[in-house]
Amino acid sequence: MTDEIAIEFVDVTKNYGAAVAVDSISLSIAKGEMVTFLGPSGCGKTTSLRLIAGLELPTSGIVRIAGRDVSQRAASERNVGMVFQSYALFPHMNVLENVAYGPMIRGEAKATARARATEILEQIGLKGLSERLPSELSGGQQQRVAVARAIVQQPDVLLFDEPLSNVDAKLRRKVRGEIRDLQKRFGLTAVYVTHDQEEALAVSDRIVVMQAGKIAQIGTPRDLYERPASPFVADFIGDANLISGQVSKGRFVSADLDLPLAGADGQAQISLRPERIGLTPGDAGPVGTVRSCTYLGSRWEFEIETGFAELLASRPMTEAPIAPGTRVSLNIPDTAPIRVA
């Protein structure tokens, strides 16, 4: 990773008629970085990606790729590769023709283009399939052809729009690992769109969390998980218990909950991760009643009624289950609460 900027948005807005899909976004992505756009449905992830690709032009603002202003430039005149959700392989061309299409369009001789395509196909593990039509490939193979096609011309940026939504759950983990490897191996700058937070955490250098057309927070996966800047982010990345209360003299108080917390006095909201809440049957400290106890294979998940909120807590499967109705005392480490508001 270098400090060179590959993609830059300056106050980019995209309207569809009266609807605002992307609302005055600014961000920059470094060369060689893999950044994920994450957010709920309709928050503007795909639109942001298409703005980079040039498949949409911004209503206002500037888009720069590799230092050049490309705001009004057509997709065909930017150097981007894109992997579509449906893969969008050309059904009337075989695998080799699909991959060689880009280099040929950009003016390379047919033989050179084919050689390049063959080389990429080999590197990506599709040797021997080049004569097949897309309809004669499995879903995972099609996906790899789509990736090969996108990287064959060494794009300034590689874009993925939910590339795994057509891959079955089991394969997903493997393929996302492959994508990440490939991105590192070729030193590509990549932007990845997903609404699956686990996927985002797994593949990204940085994550851009979006909410209603705006950026809610940008940060590394750890930043976002451990230091969410808003209740929305805390809730969206992983599970979170959001608790409202008062801060005074460095302590956060809500009903019988009393924790150390830095920051200004007054109204506050904290986020507590379920796995940071220890449970012991008893009556000491903040207490609650177990409402349900669910077995999830690797862990137990509890719903707990307390004086300040309905809490979600999870304990490793190695601990003993606790029967619903049991009164428990909550052990919350001082480092667990994160102030989000």
Ligand X SMILES: Nc1ncnc2c1ncn2[C@@H]1O[C@H](COP(=O)(O)OP(=O)(O)OP(=O)(O)O)[C@@H](O)[C@H]1O
Footprint on this chain of Mg ion (rule: CB under 5 A): 46
Q: One-letter amino acid identity for 238?
A: G
x/- site string to ligand X, residues 190 to 219, per CB under 6 A? -----x------------------------
Q: How far is the CB of 212 from ligand X (least distance, A)?
A: 9
Q: Which residues contact other proteins by CB under 8 A?
A: 53-57, 68, 71-82, 84-92, 101-102, 105-107, 133-135, 137, 139, 142, 149-150, 153, 159, 166
- 41 CB contacts (<8 Å, ≥6 apart)? 195
Cα-Cα-Cα-Cα dihedral of 132, 136, 142, 146, to 10°? 40
Q: Is 264 in the site for ligand X (CB under 6 A)?
A: no
Q: How far is CA 218 from CA 86, 128, 196, 248, 317, in A?
A: 28, 42, 16, 29, 33
How many residues bind ligand X (CB under 6 A)? The answer is 12
Answer with the entry of Mg ion, other proteins, ligand X, none that 74 interacts with (C-beta below 5 to 8 A by kind): other proteins
State which of positions 135-174 bind ligand X (CB under 6 A). Answer: none
- 33, 34, 45, 145: which one contacts ligand X (CB under 6 A)? 45
Amino acid at 172: R
Q: Does the footprint of ligand X cover residue 46 (CB under 6 A)?
A: yes
Q: Which is nearer to Mg ion, 38 or 151 (CB)?
A: 38
Q: Where are the alpha helices (DSSP H) in the chain?
A: 45-53, 95-105, 110-123, 139-151, 169-185, 197-203, 221-226, 231-236
- Cβ proximity to Mg ion: between 46 and 241 the closer is 46
SS3 call for 12: strand
Alpha-carbon dihedral angle through residues 165, 171, 174, 178, given to the nearest 10 degrees: -60
Contacting ligand X within 1-40 (CB under 6 A): 16, 19, 21, 39
- With CB under 6 A as the contact rule, the residue among 44, 228, 274, 286 that binds ligand X is 44
In whole angstroms, the minimum distance from the beta carbon of 64 to ligand X comes to 20
Among candidate residues 135, 63, 130, the one with its CA nearest the CA of residue 99: 130
- Token pair listed for 147: 């990736």
**Residues found near ligand X in the complex (CB under 6 A):** 16, 19, 21, 39, 41-47, 195
